[in-house]
Amino acid sequence: MGPIPLYILLLVTVLTMVVAVTTEESRVDDQYSWPQWKVPLVRKRRTVPLSSPNFSAHPQQELSGTCGIECQRRLPSPSLNDLEQFLSYETVYENGTRTYTSISVHGLNEVTMWSKNTSSSSRHKRELYGTDTRFTIADKQYSTKYPFSTSVKISTGCSGVLVSPKHVLTAAHCIHDGKDYLDGVQKLHYDYAVLELKRAPKVNYMDIGVIPSIKKLPAGRIHFSGFDDDRPGNLVYRFCSVSEESKDLLYQYCDAKPGSSGSGVYIRLKEPGKKKWKRKIIGVFSGHQWVDVNGDGMQQDYNVAVRITPLKYAQICYWVHGDSSECQVA
């Protein structure tokens, strides 16, 4: 066999480089794409009537005594029965009646591929950390466009986010104090709740998503917009990196003030198999909280968000659609 022409060698080299680059791009696309989750089924077991609520609770600016990331590590994993009790919920209807619904969970296979947390020895103090990094979206040219248009101001003084044409996701403590309801409540569990609107606003909503770890994303960055009390009448946007995370919580130092609680925390990733990027809600901002870090009763303060897990996704999706068959893949 004679010598191979130089241009053929060059062609082979270029083709090899193209294949290598394509393979690397594929890995990046997979890494920064929305994962496809098989979520459990949440089904109604029984609904019973309850007495009408008094709506006598007062709005809460923050929660107290929340079991934090390190504290949660010491707790045993909840049984299926525990989870079903946690996920059972109350519903308050427009006519003032109230019901309690017990649920059953099927096909539970919660993924535990969450990153290990690293505890920081120094903690920042509440709400604002150094230079205020919030952006006021005062111009209606921007505030009425997606994604800012999905933000909702709730009458109790909190924020929320549209997750369907008629449903708003917010923090449970914004509408319930653990004993009674604040005005405008619908369904709740842990520190997230869903409100159903009488009429659908003519704006886009944001889908809900689930991801295994924030820290695997570029800069580990989250975004959310809410109606902070110190900037009345204006929507306030911010972004920051997550400092610590667990299966259920996100600790971060996003600058925020009371009023932003209940905001939808979102990120932007590629849709699987496509080049289009899409924003999805992956948590609910709970605001400033006093957290029992180690389970020893000693409390420290943080800005905290409750993250969406496959099980929480299943429940929220069930609340919105009323049909578990609509909620098979996140």
Percent of the chain whose predicted confidence (pLDDT) is above 90 = 30
Residue 170 pLDDT = 95
Residues 87, 202 within the same domain: yes
- Claim to verify: residue 11 and residue 43 sit in the same structural domain: no
Look at residue 25 in the predicted model and tell me its pLDDT: 47
Same domain? 26 vs 151? no
Residue 249 CA to residue 190 CA, distance in Å, equals 12
Structure tokens at 174: 């914004």
- 3 has pLDDT over 80: no
Q: 24 pLDDT exceeds 50?
A: no
Q: Same structural domain for residues 307 and 250? A: yes
Does the pLDDT of residue 143 top 80, yes or no?
yes
Residues 7 and 57 in one domain: no
Same domain for 5 and 47, yes or no, is no
Judge if 17 and 115 occupy the same domain.
no
**Cα 125 from chain centre:** 23
Percent of the chain with pLDDT over 70: 73
Residues 27 and 110 in one domain: no
Residue listed under structure tokens 């029992």 = 292
Rounded CA-CA distance 264/163 in Å is: 9
Assess whether 12 and 102 both reside in one domain.
Answer: no
Residues 23 and 87 in one domain: no
Instruction: Report d(CA 55, CA 247) in Å as an integer.
Output: 32
pLDDT in tens, 176-210: 655 555 443 433 338 899 999 988 888 999 999 99
Rounded to two decimals, what is the model's pTM?
A: 0.78
In this model, does residue 92 exceed pLDDT 50? yes
Position 158 scores a pLDDT of 92
Number of domains in the chain: 2
User: How far is Cα 320 from Cα 82, in angstroms, rounded to an integer?
Assistant: 23
* Greater model confidence, 190 or 218: 190
Residues of the domain holding 304:
36-326
pLDDT, position 12: 52
The Cα–Cα gap between 292 and 299 comes to 5
- Do 16 and 165 sit in the same domain of this protein? no
Preceding amide of 147 cis, omega within 30: yes
Q: For residue range 265-278, what is the model confidence (pLDDT) as tens digits? A: 999 998 888 888 99
